[in-house]
Structure 1
Amino acid sequence: MISDILPEHLRPFQALETLDLSDNHISALRMASFPPLPLKYLHINNNRIVSLEPGTFDNLSNTLQVLKLNKNRIAFIPQKMFKLSHLQHLEMNRNKIKMIDGLTFQGLSALKSLRIQRNGLVRLMDGAFWGLSNMEILQLDHNNLTEITKGWLYGLRMLQQLHLSQNAISRISPDAWEFCQKLSELDLNYNHLARLEDSSFVGLSLLVRLNIGNNKVSYIADCAFRGLSSLQILDLKNNEISWTIEDMNGAFSGLDKLRWLLLQGNRIRSVTKKAFSGLDALEHLDLSNNAIMSVQGNTFSQMKKLKRLPKMLLSLCSL
């Protein structure tokens, strides 16, 4: 039933490293709520916090490594709110944050992961994550973001995982990935993408896993995946792909290391001889839940590592 954090109540605990105040009735965090303590882990999940006051955590700047503020009512993060040079993990899931201004997270130079899921985020301003030069994981799933631009990705040079599933993304700007070319995993499941242009993934030569399942993709440009030389898993399930596989030659050219290709639940009716040319390393190909009526002969002959094809496909082609 704790409703307030008073510094005099915490001051006696001079050796305290972990403080969990979750599941209480705290409604505000004020400047100097926390006296100087050697705290490493601070959890204030599932309270009633509406606002954050700059300076709240300043006394913990030398030691705090993990801060969790999930399931509160926070609607706005003041600029330079977090002056925590040792913080590595910050979670603010299930709040009410709709927009993030530039420089909001300046002061978190050691941060490795940031989670702002299920907030209803609509807009990320240019430089929203500037200053997070060491961050490796950014999770923004279950929000209302509509596009990916280099403006809000500015400065994320060490980013390795970007999770954007369950948003409303319909556009990837041509130069979106200029500042985060170390990405190894990109999750765009359950968005509104209809087209994959030849510029959609430029610069992501270290990408290993790309998830674009459950979108509305019906068009894939000839060079959409060119340059993804490290890609091993490509998930395109439950889209509206049809003519891409039927009429294009080498839609997946350049994916020399691709091991998994998931195309189930699309609108593919026929597979041409060159549809999968260049996929010599492919081990798993899923074409289930399509309406495939024909497969040209020798379509899969170059894929020596392919482990299994559905009987339905085997009956339609001669390998």
Structure 2
Amino acid sequence: MLIIGVTMQPCSFSHFQLYQGLNFFCSQRNNISSLSYSALANLTNLRWLIIDNNQLKSDKLELTSLQNQTQLRYFFANRNYLTSVPGGLPAGLKQLRLANNQISSISPGAFQNLQNLTLLLLQGNRLQTMTGDDVKGLVGLNLLDVSGNLFSAVPRHLPPSVQQLYLSNNSFSGLHEGSFEGFHNLKYLRLSHCGLLSEGIHPQAFNHSSLVELDLSYNQLTTIPTVPTTLQYLYLEANRIQEFNVTSFCREVGPLSYSRMKILRLDGNKMTYHQLPPDWVYCLRVLQRIYI
């Protein structure tokens, strides 16, 4: 395996003699502003391409430069100046990391052939919408991070295969009953710093038995939302919650009807431990730790 790593030295691809057989190429914190077909033309075994912290621009990224890299599995271009998700990505790609760019659009058909992609990081960009056509082809996606964008509502028609969905640091007006409809495998959901209000969350918004962890910290909630009894980790710190409703966790309490909650965070709210109702322990009978 041939590996080349370059960091902290201003350069461009024209300064490198890249050899056939190269498996891993890393050039971070340089001044790379373009990626041409000729720069990677001689490579046939490249699996990792990491060009974080450079000055790569969308109009300087030739589609054929990546399209012909049939062995490429990991492409990282975080903290550059890309304005759109590039098209022509190789079908074997497993991870695509484009965080903290200036991306406001997704090139038509960009993901259409990426059935093997399991991780997509797009946080810290300028996306306002994601349509079904935008994500068409992402049938095996496991983790999607679109935190810190400009969404005003949960994007519809996201890949149903997603198990980890990160939406923090957007500005949601509310969550309706079908906000997460179709996510049959969703396990981890992050919605911190979204300006959420209790009155804007439908009682059935989180009605997903697959959910394991839910992060609603640093919002403006005044009550605890209704969550599935199968939920194990709930983060509600730094809200404005003033009361504890057992029915938020258990619709009824019995030998087989109780919450599977293990960790519950309520610190940084407007309530104390003494405000907990006496019957909360029967509902949260397997709770391991509560912060209040």
Q: Into which bin does the TM-score normalised by the smaller protein fall?
A: 0.7 to 0.9
User: Residues 22 and 196 (structure 1 numbering): CA distance in 2 closer, same or farther, change over 3 Å?
Assistant: same
How many angstroms apart in 2 are the aligned matches of 1:266 and 1:140? 26
Question: Could you list the runs of 5+ residues in structure 2 that have no partner in the other structure?
Answer: 252-257
Runs of 4+ in 1 over 4 A off after TM superposition: 33-36, 293-297
How many angstroms apart in 2 are the aligned matches of 1:271 and 1:277? 12
Partner residue of 1:59 out of 10, 23, 42: 42
Q: Is 1:112 paired with 2:94? A: yes
User: Residues 308 and 67 (structure 1 numbering): CA distance in 2 closer, same or farther, change over 3 Å?
Assistant: closer
Partner residue of 1:285 out of 243, 247, 264: 264
Residue in 1 aligned with 2:62? Answer: 78
Q: TM-score, normalised by structure 1?
A: 0.79
Superposition deviation, residue 49 in structure 1: 2.0
Q: Which secondary structure does the structure 2 equivalent of 1:258 belong to?
A: coil
Q: Deviations over 1:205-256 (max 9, x none)?
A: 2122111111111121122112x3221111101111125x3xx7xx21xx34
Residue in 2 aligned with 1:11? Answer: none
Q: Is 1:208 paired with 2:180? A: no
Q: Is 1:187 paired with 2:162? A: no
Residue in 2 aligned with 1:316? Answer: none
Residue in 2 aligned with 1:236? Answer: 216
User: 8 Å contact 1:181–1:206 — kept in the other structure?
Assistant: yes
- Residue 80 of structure 2 aligns with an amino acid whose one-letter code is N
User: 8 Å contact 1:209–1:231 — kept in the other structure?
Assistant: yes
How many angstroms apart in 2 are the aligned matches of 1:136 and 1:49? 27
Deviates more, 1:269-278 or 1:183-192: 269-278
How many angstroms apart in 1 are the aligned matches of 2:64 and 2:177? 37
Map residues 123-162 of structure 1 onto 2, 5 A cutoff: 123-162=105-144
Q: Which secondary structure does the structure 2 equivalent of 1:105 belong to?
A: coil
Q: Which secondary structure does the structure 2 equivalent of 1:56 belong to?
A: helix
Residue identity over aligned pairs, in percent, reads 25
Residue in 2 aligned with 1:306? Answer: 287
| Alignment RMSD (CA, Å) | 2.5
Q: TM-score, normalised by structure 2?
A: 0.85
How many angstroms apart in 2 are the aligned matches of 1:89 and 1:201? 28
Q: Which secondary structure does the structure 2 equivalent of 1:172 belong to?
A: coil
Q: Which secondary structure does the structure 2 equivalent of 1:43 belong to?
A: strand
Asked which structure has the greater CA Rg, the reply is 1
Q: Deviations over 1:90-134 (max 9, x none)?
A: 111111011235xx133x111111111111222224433222110
Question: Could you list the runs of 5+ residues in structure 1 that have no partner in the other structure?
Answer: 1-15, 313-319
How many angstroms apart in 2 are the aligned matches of 1:159 and 1:300? 38
Q: Is 1:196 paired with 2:196? A: no
Residue in 1 aligned with 2:30? Answer: 47
Partner residue of 1:171 out of 150, 153, 160: 153
User: 8 Å contact 1:186–1:210 — kept in the other structure?
Assistant: yes
